[in-house]
Amino acid sequence: MPKFEYAPAPESRSIVSLRESYGLFINGEFGPGVDGRAFKTISPATEEVLAEVTEAGPADVDRAVTAARKAYEHSWSAMPGRERAKYLFRIARIIQERARELAVLESLDNGKPIRESRDVDIPLVAAHFFYHAGWADKLEYAGYGPAPRPLGVAGQVIPWNFPLLMLAWKIAPALACGNTVVLKPAETTPLTALAFAEICQQADLPPGVVNIVTGAGETGRTLVEHPGIDKVAFTGSTEVGKQIARACAPTRKKVTLELGGKAANVVFEDAPVDQAVEGIVNGIFFNQGHVCCAGSRLLVQESVYSDVLASLRRRLATLRLGDPLDKNTDVGAINSAAQLAKIRELSEVGEAEGAQRWSPPCELPVKGFWFPPTIFTGVSQAHRIAREEIFGPVLSVLTFRTPAEAVEKANNTPYGLSAGVWTEKGSLILWMASRLRAGVVWANTFNKFDPTSPFGGYKESGYGREGGRHGLEAYLDV
């Protein structure tokens, strides 16, 4: 098959004006941390230092929670929904106006291809604020009683895989329902959250309604354990999610957890192979596989195994890995050295346990953190690469003979966040969907997100839903 050569098509980064250092965003203003600690955030594609960011300590978290409480009591919770809606609409429009800048900033700090930050992340961020702006004055029609009340101050901790999108998933519903927030972005990707703080200023949001405290895991722990928090919302690893659940259990805090996944993407023999292969690629190589709902376990019906694998290998050979800011890039950089080490380690375990590893010929840049798209075949259900979340561009391939076997294998995981089904038979889709223990089941597509659609997991993938009418429940006193 002829392979096209693409000329470089870099997106200009001149639209982003990075500051040398960033303070904490508390009570509507940027300011220094109490104990003067800071850390650097780098571009994972080049290891270039992008900026220095303040590390919030306990005194800073306390200031942020106090500011959020004051804003909750004196302005935000008492404000009519239609007035809150105006702020959310304004924020959504500013996000649209600054979309290009936000996309470039996200790709710089996270390493994801600009094509994804530009076409997926940022449009969804704006959509989330638009959608929840629509709810702010209609909460009495959401099905939670005639006058649903907010909870108070929300402490929110988010990961690095979709930095601004996870912020939107957390902040938009919280504000729409009348809560105020203190949010901690991930240590490796704080820049778009800080840009969002500027957007709050631009939108004239009352001081203290949104507070952003940057820092590492310890800052997150201090925030979720702060006694002034009424609600905790966390997205991240199952391990940290369990720690948070334990810490909050003896308190009156309401908690929602969106944790890991090990989704099965199930391909039946009647599925159109090319379409399914696109779905498999999107399922596991989108965002370098740094996706909680990634289709990391491919289950292929035995009768079409060789066809699907041959097409998949051909398709992988056409993926372009490299500069995240190049508009032709399909696979960007791994977010951090630590994540790269974890992906390498689990891949080595896969080989040691007897699975066969394959990657297309692929030149990796010398600087930065990179891992080629990788497939493991000959994987059994007991292998660690079939059970543990790798959170990288690594696909484990298994086979099945009957739909019942597919269901059994798909559900054989401690997780339950998402699943995919590929078949031409509508009846089989419904049969599978009613048996798969996963919060989201995609049929003949994968990794499709929409603010109107609730998202969340079963089992060790966490509890609570984000998005849609169901997502409002997490921020209302019901």
Look at residues 280, 343, 347 and name the one whose alpha carbon lies nearest to residue 314.
280
* Pairing outcome for strands 254-258 and 231-235: parallel
Binding flag, residue 456, ligand NDP (CB under 6 A): no
SS3 29: strand
Binding flag, residue 161, ligand NDP (CB under 6 A): yes
Among 61, 292, 321, 386, binds ligand NDP (CB under 6 A): 292
Binding flag, residue 221, ligand NDP (CB under 6 A): yes
Binding flag, residue 251, ligand NDP (CB under 6 A): no
Strand pairing partners for 398?
299
Tell me whether residue 186 or residue 355 sits nearer to ligand NDP (CB atom): 186
Rounded least distance, CB 115 to ligand NDP, Å = 21
Among 216, 273, 433, 443, binds ligand NDP (CB under 6 A): 216
The residue of the chain with the least Cβ separation from ligand NDP equals 220
- What is the secondary structure of 392-424 as a DSSP string? SSEEEEEEESSHHHHHHHHT-SS--SEEEEE-S
Separation CA 71–CA 145 (nearest Å): 25
- Span near ligand NDP by CB under 6 A; candidates 71-79, 181-189, 203-211, 350-358: 181-189
Rounded least distance, CB 66 to ligand NDP, Å = 20
Separation CA 463–CA 78 (nearest Å): 29
Q: Do 173 and 475 touch, CB atoms closer than 8 A?
A: yes
Active site residue 292: yes
Tokens coding 257: 């957890």
Tokens coding 7: 């000329």
Among 68, 91, 127, 186, binds ligand NDP (CB under 6 A): 186
Binding flag, residue 184, ligand NDP (CB under 6 A): yes
- Span near ligand NDP by CB under 6 A; candidates 24-32, 129-137, 237-245, 369-377: 237-245
Kindly state the number of chain residues that form the binding site for ligand NDP, as judged by CB under 6 A. Answer: 26
Among 339, 413, 418, 447, binds ligand NDP (CB under 6 A): 339
Tell me whether residue 282 or residue 339 sits nearer to ligand NDP (CB atom): 339
Tell me whether residue 165 or residue 331 sits nearer to ligand NDP (CB atom): 165
> Which amino acid, 367?
K
Separation CA 349–CA 387 (nearest Å): 12
Q: Is the dihedral of CA 456, 459, 460, 463 positive or negative?
A: positive
- What is the secondary structure of 333-397 as a DSSP string? --S-HHHHHHHHHHHHHHHHTTPEEE--S-PPPSSS-----EEEES--TTSHHHHS---SSEEEE
Among 22, 370, 371, 391, binds ligand NDP (CB under 6 A): 391
- Span near ligand NDP by CB under 6 A; candidates 21-29, 40-48, 212-220, 445-453: 212-220
Separation CA 391–CA 346 (nearest Å): 10
Binding flag, residue 403, ligand NDP (CB under 6 A): no
Among 187, 230, 326, 466, binds ligand NDP (CB under 6 A): 187
Separation CA 432–CA 445 (nearest Å): 15
Q: Do 124 and 118 touch, CB atoms closer than 8 A?
A: no
Binding flag, residue 389, ligand NDP (CB under 6 A): yes
Binding flag, residue 220, ligand NDP (CB under 6 A): yes
Instruction: Give the DSSP H or E segment for 164.
Output: helix 163-176
Binding flag, residue 96, ligand NDP (CB under 6 A): no
* Pairing outcome for strands 38-42 and 49-54: antiparallel
Which of 177, 200, 292, 293 is the catalytic position?
292
Tokens coding 314: 């051909």
Rounded least distance, CB 202 to ligand NDP, Å = 25
Rounded least distance, CB 317 to ligand NDP, Å = 27
Q: What separation in angstroms does the CA of 214 have from each of 70, 106, 188?
A: 21, 16, 10
Separation CA 335–CA 393 (nearest Å): 12
Among 54, 107, 211, 235, binds ligand NDP (CB under 6 A): 235
Among 26, 88, 157, 406, binds ligand NDP (CB under 6 A): 157
Rounded least distance, CB 226 to ligand NDP, Å = 11
Which of 11, 55, 225, 258 is the catalytic position?
258
Separation CA 244–CA 380 (nearest Å): 32
Binding flag, residue 110, ligand NDP (CB under 6 A): no
Rounded least distance, CB 54 to ligand NDP, Å = 13
Residues forming the active site? 258, 292
Residues that bind ligand NDP (CB under 6 A): 157-161, 184, 186-187, 216-217, 220-221, 224, 235-237, 240, 243-244, 259-260, 292, 339, 342, 389, 391
